Every structure is written in structure tokens, then in C-alpha cells.
Amino acid sequence: MRQLEYLIIGAGFGGLGMAIRLRQNQHQDFEIWEKAADLGGCWRDNIYPGAACDVPSHLYSFSFAPKKNWSHKFAPQAEILDYMKECAERYQLSPHIKFNREITEARFDEDSRRWQVTSVSNDCLSVRYLISATGQLNRPAMPNLPGLNDFKGERFHSAQWREDVDLKDKKVIVIGTGASAIQFVPEIAKQAKSLSLFQRSAPYVITKPDRRYSKLEHWLLQRVPGIYTLSRLKTYIQYESRFLGFRSFKQVMRLMTLSWRRFMHGAVKDESLRQALTPNYPMGCKRILIANNYYPSFERFDIQLNTRGIEKISPSGVIDNTGVSHEADVLIFGTGFKASELLSPMRIIGRNGLELNEAWKHGAEAFLGITVTQFPNFFMLYGPNTNLGHNSIIYMLESQINYTLKAIAYCQQHQRSLLDVLPHAQQHFNNKVQQAIKSTVWSEGCSSWYQDAEGKHTINWPGFTFRYRHLTRQFNAKHYLLES
Ligand code: NAP
């Protein structure tokens, strides 16, 4: 079997970042196996109209690969994807990336102390270190609605956008009002003959302080040392301070709620529509969304907001819970992702034949969200409890990448071939995480993709990101079983 030192799973932000940092640390003996035919992860998949990032691009980019000419403060999807491709080119990653290599199984072999990895097309590889960078939002969640297969028109999920389906003059029904839907609804409303939007719970949508960068700003960013760094720092502090509202200072969230209410009331004149667009849970419990064009589009394009729930799908549309039929040529699902099924459907098999799914049967957990006991030499980027509701995920990924590099460097310096996190280190860390989550707004009685099927919060990091950076800044051998 072919042997390598490192295998990275996935060529999204995490995988590319890990690969760049491996190269910068003089490691060449690695590959990235990517299940799709191109790199980019969620920025390759989510091509729906209006797709853009809700974190400013100066911060939503690698600190070690700055781009100083973003067109907008919040870059659109195509520009982010281009940036990722530029990074791959700039750091000569192409020879390392193997496309159309979906991994089915990774099994730890006790004798060789290596991971044996197999792909769908039966490619096999033996690696010392396995690093997953599969993201949390890559498996579309389709609701299990009765009659779905009987629908005669076109239907698709927002993350599998059908560019071949022309929405012009079509009757369109959208199901879901999350972060994706609020971006594409105002765009497709411009083309569709009619648009009906099925909302199960209303989101909080606040203003998006987006704008184009001027030529002067581009010049300053590129020529004056420190300006770009200052911009990153300013954005970081601004976004990080929002966490105060999620955890300790309820007044911060109250102020944000007041500002949301003013914005919504200014944009929507109809009182009953305003009521329907008002969430019934505290702000922050689900992801806070940003868009300037979502609320105004209801009156501008006469979007029908339906809050009666869905009884079933009929061959010609949707039957709501009051028995009323809504006709559609096209059904679009903005129904989110199977976020808590981390790493599925891959089978990751650790020591003594233990499957990761089995180890996680009471909810996914890992030490620092990175290593799992009984799964030696295995590191996760964007693992359990490392998602954010308030800041850039790239900052978290960089913390995880640095930690992984330090762990590997430790093993190499001390001639250790196996590293396995100690059960009590993992348990202690996760007890603290779950304790901290209890005092966040996420525990205030709404259901969201932040929880798994049993209601356990396995997705979010319940602290400041600088705290996470501090915890991951050094590899501490006392947390691990290390064998030569
Ligand atoms: P989402 O936020 O999970 O929203 C899914 C929507 O579908 C919710 O409104 C949900 O209602 C609804 N829904 C789910 N199942 C349903 C059913 N059976 N019947 C009716 N409605 C149903 O998904 P998303 O909009 O794709 O966004 C997912 C995440 O992707 C975001 O939270 C964000 O982290 C990321 N994202 C980021 C950006 C960005 O700008 N960076 C853009 C898009 C997405 P309930 O609320 O009632 O469950």
C-alpha cells in the first residue's frame, strides 16, 4: 500500500489552510483527498443568487495569505472561491490535491500505527497522520415531507442550485428562512412570476454594513503598511465583542434587538406582516442573519409569507396545514444542513475497532474540538463545539491548524509514533464546554442546527475566540498518551 505522512480530508478553507501551513513548515509528504471535482468546499457548492459571506473578508481570509483588494467589505461567493483558488496556486498545492476521491473508510492499524484509508473508487493509502477538514455544512438537509416525490415540477436544495432551471415567470415556492434563503429570496423574487415563502420560524435579520471598497482604499490597503492589519484587528474586536451578548451581558442583546426592531419596522409597513416576521425566541438563540434587502423585498415584490406550516407536497405544489393548496412550478429548499452528523458518511475506525459514530452515540465531542480518545494521530479541523455565532471561522481554523502542527512537531522531536488524547482530558474539557453552553443564549429554548437529535449542543464554541486561541496555542503532552 502506498505510504504518506499526512492525509488531509477536504479541500475547503480548513484543508487548504492546513496544506499551506504544512508546506510553510517544510512538510511535503502530504495529499488532500477531495470528494468533489474542484476545491472550495461550501464556497464551491453554494452558488445560489446573492450568495455572499456574512463576515467581512479582511477577517474571513487567512492571516498568512492576505488579500488586500477585495471588491466589497463582505465578498460575494465567486470572489471567495477565486481567493481559495489563488491560495492553492500561490502555495503550489495542485500536485497535492486529488479530486473525486471520496473517502469511505479510515481504519487505524495498531501494528503499523498508521491509518489505512480507502476511497469510493478503492484507492488505498497508509498515513501516519489523518487530518479531517470536512466542514460542518456540506450535507444538505432535505425535509422528509409526505408527497415530496410526487411533485411534478423542478425541485432542488439551495446548496445544489440548478442554474439550468430558469425561474423567470415561474411560480416558485421556497421552504426555509435561514441564512441561505434570506440571501437568495430577494434575488429570485426579481425574476419569478410569484414567490411563496414557507417560514417555520422567523429569523432575526439585521442590517449589513456592506459597501464597495474605493480605489483610494485599495491603494491605501496595498501601499501603507499596517492599514490592512488594523482593518482586520478592528473587525475582529468589533465581532468578538458581540459574544458579550451571547453569554454574559443580556443588555447587549437587548440593544441589538431594539436596533433590529427599528430596522424591521422601517422596512415593513404592514403590521400583520411585521408580526409574522417577528421571531418568538431571544435574539442570538439561532444564528443572527444580516441582509439589507430581505425585509424590503416582501413589499417590493409581493412575496407571500406563509407561516401555517406544511401538511404535504402535492404534484402541483404545497398543501399547508389549513388545507390550502399553493401552486408551484419550482420548489426550492433552503432547509440547511445535517451539521451535527460530523464526518458522516465516512467510517472512521479507531483503536479496538471502535467506530467514531459509536464513540459519539451520546453526542460528538473532542478535546479542544480537535482530538478524540481512541483515535490516535487523528486531528479534526472545525470539529465538535468549534463553530461560532459571532466571528470568523477562519480564525478558529487557524488555531486548530497551529495546534495540529505543534502536536506533530512534538511527536517528531520526541520520537513518538502515536499520540492519543487521554479520556479524562477530553471529558474535563467537554464538561466545561457543556457547562458554559448552559449560560449562553443558545440554551434559551429554541431549536436549531446547533443541537444534535438528542438536543445536545455539539456545534458551537461557548466562549471568546481569543480564549480558544489561548487554549490551543501550545501542545501540552500531559493531555496525551504518547508512545514511541
Ligand atoms: P439554516 O440556517 O439551518 O436554515 C434552515 C431553514 O429551513 C430554517 O428556516 C428552518 O426553520 C427551515 N426548515 C428546516 N426544515 C424545515 C422543514 N421541515 N419545514 C419547514 N422549514 C424547515 O440553513 P441555511 O440557511 O442553509 O444556513 C445554514 C448555515 O450556513 C448558516 O447558519 C450559516 O452558518 C451558514 N451560511 C453562512 C452564510 C454566510 O454568509 N457566511 C450564508 C449562508 C449560510 P427552523 O428555523 O424553524 O428550523
pLDDT in tens, 351-367: 999 999 999 999 999 99
Q: What's the rounded Cα separation, in Å, for the pair 328 and 304? A: 13
What's the rounded mean pLDDT across residues 108-119?
Answer: 96
* Ligand 1 pocket mutation pick from 60, 139, 200 by most atoms within 8 angstroms of CB: 200
Q: Which atom of ligand 1 lies at the shortest distance from residue 55's CA?
A: 41
pLDDT at 39: 98
pLDDT at 6: 98
What's the rounded mean pLDDT across residues 67-81?
Answer: 97
Question: Partners of 421 in the beta sheet?
Answer: 480
| Rounded-to-10 torsion of CA 252, 255, 259, 260 | 60
Question: What is the maximum alpha-carbon separation in the chain?
Answer: 70
Q: Which atom of ligand 1 lies at the shortest distance from residue 143's CA?
A: 18
Q: How far is the CA of 429 from the centre of ligand 1 (A)?
A: 29
Q: What's the rounded Cα separation, in Å, for the pair 87 and 92? A: 8
| Band of residue 408 on the pLDDT scale cut at 50, 70, 90 | very high
The answer, yes or no, to whether any atom of ligand 1 lies below 6 A from the CB of 137, is yes
Q: What's the rounded Cα separation, in Å, for the pair 25 and 5? A: 14
Q: How far is the CA of 332 from the centre of ligand 1 (A)?
A: 13
Q: What's the rounded Cα separation, in Å, for the pair 412 and 435? A: 35
| Rounded-to-10 torsion of CA 147, 152, 156, 157 | -20
pLDDT in tens, 142-194: 999 999 999 999 999 999 999 999 999 999 999 999 999 999 999 999 999 99
Q: How far is the CA of 316 from the centre of ligand 1 (A)?
A: 25
The answer, yes or no, to whether any atom of ligand 1 lies below 6 A from the CB of 393, is no
CA-nearest of 78, 68, 116, 104 to 218 is 68
pLDDT at 248: 65
Checking if the pLDDT of 250 tops 80, the result is no
pLDDT at 447: 86
* DSSP conformation class of 465: H
Q: Look at ligand 1, atom 26, and give the residue with the nearest C-alpha.
A: 336
Q: How far is the CA of 158 from the centre of ligand 1 (A)?
A: 10
The answer, yes or no, to whether any atom of ligand 1 lies below 6 A from the CB of 337, is yes
- pTM of the prediction? 0.95
Using N-to-C axis directions, what is the helix angle for 227-241 and 215-223, rounded to 10°? 110
The answer, yes or no, to whether any atom of ligand 1 lies below 6 A from the CB of 334, is yes
